[in-house]
Amino acid sequence: MINEQLAELSNLALVVAIVLYVLAMFGFSADLASISQRRADQRLAAQEAEESQRVLHGAGGGSAVEADGFLTGSDGTGESARGTMTAQKFAFLLSIAATALHVVGVLARAGATQRVPWANMYEFATTSTALVMVAFLVFSIKRAELRTLGTFVVSPVLLVLLLAQTFWIVPAAALTPSLQNSHWLIIHIGIAIIATALSILGAVVATLQLLQARHERALVELVAAGEEHPEHWGRFGHVLDRLPSSTVLESLSFRIHSIAFVCWTFTLIFGAIWAREAWGRFWGWDPKEVWTFIIWVIYAAYLHARATGGFRGSRAAGLALAGFVAVVFNYTVVNTVINGLHSYSGL
C-alpha cells in the first residue's frame, strides 16, 4: 500500500531542497567572487603603492607609503569580522537547510513505499546525493576552510537532482518481484549508494586538486621569471588562491577514495552473495557485475599506485577521475542502454 501523502511530501521536500541548493550555490559563488575581486583590488593597490614609493624616493622626500592598509580588512586578514553574516556563512546555512529537506524527502519516500528508498535510478540518485551533502557538511564543520569547496560540491549534487527530477522520476511503487523479501537489497544497494556518494565527492576534490596543482606550478614559473605580482587564470586564479593547496586536496582525496574503495569491495562481495541466492551463481558476467568490477580495479590501482610513493599528484588524481568516469558509465549507460539481469535498476 502506497501512502500518497508521504509521496507528495517527498516530492515537495526535494523540490524545495533544489531551490535552496540553487541559492546556496549562488551564495558560495558570490563568496568566491568577492574574494577574487578583493584580491585583485589588493594587488592593484600594492602596485600603486610601489609606484608611489618609487616616485617619492625619486623625488628625494616623503616617507614610503604603506601598502598594508590597502591589503587587509579591519582584522588584518582580508576577511570579514567574526559574527557577521558573510556570503559563505549564509550559503552554508542554506546548505544545511537544503540537506535537511533533502533527507526528509528521502525518508518520506521510504515511508510512502514502506521500503528502503533506493530501488530505482531516481531513488538511488536522491539518496546518494543526500549522502554527498551530509559528508560535505560533516567535513566542513570539522574543517571550516573546506567550506570554500561549497560551489564545487553543491553544483554536481544539484545537477544530479535536476536530472533525477526531470528524466528519472517515477511514481512511488512497490518493489519488483525480483527485489522483494531480500535483506540483500538493504545491504548490497545501501553499500553501493555510500560508495557512489564518496566517489562523487572524491571526484570533486580530485578535479580541484588538478586545477590547483596546475595553478601553483604556473605561479612558481611566473615568480621565477621575475613577476612581482604573478597572475594566472585571472579571477579564477584568485578563487584557487582561496582553496586549500593541492597537497591538502590530494590528501583529502586519498582519504575519501580509500573509504570509497572499501565500500566498492563490499558492494562486489555482497552482490556476489545475493546473486548466488537469487540466480544460483556468484558471478555471471552480467554488464553491471563487470562494470562494478572495473570500478573496483581502477580504484585499487589508484590506491596501490599512490601508496608506492612514486605515483602521486596529478597522475594519481587522473586515475581517480578515471574511476569516477567508470562509475558514471555504470550508473547511466549500463542501467539504461545495456540489457542485463540488473536492468530493473534503471526503471
Residue 172: burial class (beta carbons within 10 Å; 0-12, 13-18, 19+): buried
For the CA atoms of 313, 319, 321, 326, what is the dihedral angle to 10 degrees?
Answer: -170
Alpha-carbon distance of 101 to 90, in angstroms, equals 17
- Please tell me the predicted confidence (pLDDT) of residue 79: 47
- Please tell me the predicted confidence (pLDDT) of residue 70: 32
pLDDT per position as a tens digit, 43-79 = 545 555 555 665 555 555 444 444 333 333 434 333 4
- Please tell me the predicted confidence (pLDDT) of residue 319: 92
Alpha-carbon distance of 227 to 205, in angstroms, equals 30
- Please tell me the predicted confidence (pLDDT) of residue 68: 39
Alpha-carbon distance of 347 to 239, in angstroms, equals 40
- Please tell me the predicted confidence (pLDDT) of residue 163: 93
Residue 46: all three cell numbers together = 600594492
CA 151: distance to chain centroid? 9
Vertex 169: Cα angle to 336 and 329 (nearest 5)? 30
Residues near 84 by beta carbon (within 8 Å), at least 6 away in sequence: none
Q: Find out whether 261 and 299 touch, Cβ atoms under 8 Å.
A: yes
CA nearest to 236, candidates 254, 213, 212: 212
Residue 133: all three cell numbers together = 551533502
- Please tell me the predicted confidence (pLDDT) of residue 74: 38
- Please tell me the predicted confidence (pLDDT) of residue 239: 72
Residues near 261 by beta carbon (within 8 Å), at least 6 away in sequence: 296, 299, 300, 303
Residues of the chain with pLDDT under 70: 35-83, 177-181, 228-238, 309-310, 338-347
- Please tell me the predicted confidence (pLDDT) of residue 12: 96
Alpha-carbon distance of 59 to 260, in angstroms, equals 65
pLDDT per position as a tens digit, 88-125 = 899 999 999 999 999 999 999 999 998 889 888 899 99
Alpha-carbon distance of 194 to 199, in angstroms, equals 9
